[in-house]
A = this chain, B = another copy of it.
Amino acid sequence: MKKLLSLLLAAALPALPALAQKFEGLALTPPMGFNTWNTFASNINEVLIMETAEAMVKNGMRDAGYTYIVLDDCWSLKERDADGNLVPDPAKFPSGLKALGEFLHARGFKFGIYGCAGAKTCGGYPGSMGHEYQDARTFASWGIDYLKYDWCSSGTRDAREAYTTMRDALFAAKRPVVFSICEWGNSKPWEWAKDVGHLWRTTGDITDCYDCVQRWERGWKVILDLQHSQVQPADGQGNGIGQYAGPGHWNDPDMLEVGNEGLTVAESRAHFSMWCLLAAPLMAGNDVRKATPEILAILTDKEAIAIDQDPAGKQGWRYRAEPGREIWVRELAGGEWAVALLNTGDTAAELSVDFGHMWFLGGTCAVRDIWEKKDAGTTVKPFTKRLESHDVALLRLKPIK
């Protein structure tokens, strides 16, 4: 009885304020930046990061919106210190990560880092399982603005719990952080992660090819199809996985391979265009210090980026898929639409879009061909263009008053 009385008294105490919240107001459009993994993997160091930042200032990427520079896996030592703190590898980062963050912040960038919800990262470095609050405080002390948080060595861990625990730890550390959930889509994060992170991976890793399949990596067209098939019905109706995306909470089909060696320029252009159509995060994954003018023109194209960053935040969807051709559409703010016409065939072909079947358009629209940088008539008649294999036509439709 004494015990029950105590419990009743405890229950009558005023509730404490809940310290469990996502940072709001961040990633209101899909995050843009650079991540080390796709090109450099474990070969990272502070000189690379500083050179990358300086290149991005000079080549226009920063001003085009690529502000988050993210250190992916393999930045730490393999063991924590005696107090359980993560330790940056002093051979790779002799100046320390606080200094590196200051360097980036002074140049108008945000500083991102990588962690893992498991006992070890995918590269075998210390994970944050059981260290979440401590690591969040460490990240805050270094000025971290973005955390990509992976899922290796997670054992039987529950994904929702794991990411919610780190969300709460970041919030408790009081420095606003874009929280990137990298759980590979296993637990259908689109169903639970809206209030946990700002973006969530929908599939396994991307690699630099159009449609190859490696051990645990996939070409961008395979990733596109995998994400598309995660939620049914997902074809031709706009109610697939895209319904879960919006300002502050995005589906993430993984980082860009634009400009990497396994893709033709046409494939890079189509990859970038499709990511813009998906309202996907645009995290460059090439060596931006050595990017060719053609690749930089793709990455910094204002009209393509404007589609990705459209303030309405509505994700695009696949309107038609036929042998050799796919048509994807995305509703933009103000009743405008983006349309991507993709040549999925192995050879060049003349492809067209008949707008007359697009019941969702509000009326006749002017058509802008973004990669040609020219207007292309109206939606009264079909748009037709010869496209290289795996190339794309990216169109913006604007209602004619």
Q: In the bound complex, how far is the Cα of B23 from the Cα of A145, in angstroms?
A: 39
> B residues within 8 A CB of A134?
84, 131, 133-134
> B residues within 8 A CB of A131?
130, 132-134
* Contact in complex: B10, A42 (CB < 8 Å): yes
Task: Kindly name the residue among A157, A166, A172 whose own CB sees the greatest number of chain B CB atoms within 10 A.
Answer: A157
How big is the A interface, by class? 35 or more
Number of copies: 2
Q: In the bound complex, how far is the Cα of B155 from the Cα of A79, in angstroms?
A: 30
Task: Kindly name the residue among A39, A42, A84, A168 whose own CB sees the greatest number of chain B CB atoms within 10 A.
Answer: A84
The answer to whether the Cβ of A38 comes within 8 Å of any Cβ in the partner chain is yes
List the one stretch of A1-9, A367-375, A376-384 in contact with chain B: A1-9
> B residues within 8 A CB of A165?
119, 129-130
Q: In the bound complex, how far is the Cα of B4 from the Cα of A172, in angstroms?
A: 37
Q: In the bound complex, how far is the Cα of B19 from the Cα of A84, in angstroms?
A: 13
- Chain B residue nearest in CB terms to A129: B165
> B residues within 8 A CB of A20?
119
Chain B: minimal CB distance from A284 (Å) = 15
* Contact in complex: A164, B168 (CB < 8 Å): no
Contacts known (A20-B119, A133-B131, A158-B156); A41 close to B6, Cβ less than 8 A: yes
The answer to whether the Cβ of A137 comes within 8 Å of any Cβ in the partner chain is yes
Apart from A3-B39, A13-B124, list 6 A-B contacts with CB within 8 A: A2-B43, A7-B123, A10-B42, A119-B168, A130-B168, A131-B134
A-B contact list, 29 entries, CB within 8 Å: A1-B261, A2-B39, A3-B37, A3-B41, A4-B214, A6-B43, A7-B41, A7-B123, A10-B42, A10-B123, A16-B78, A20-B119, A84-B134, A84-B137, A119-B168, A130-B165, A130-B166, A130-B168, A131-B134, A133-B134, A134-B134, A155-B160, A155-B161, A156-B158, A156-B160, A156-B161, A157-B161, A158-B158, A158-B161
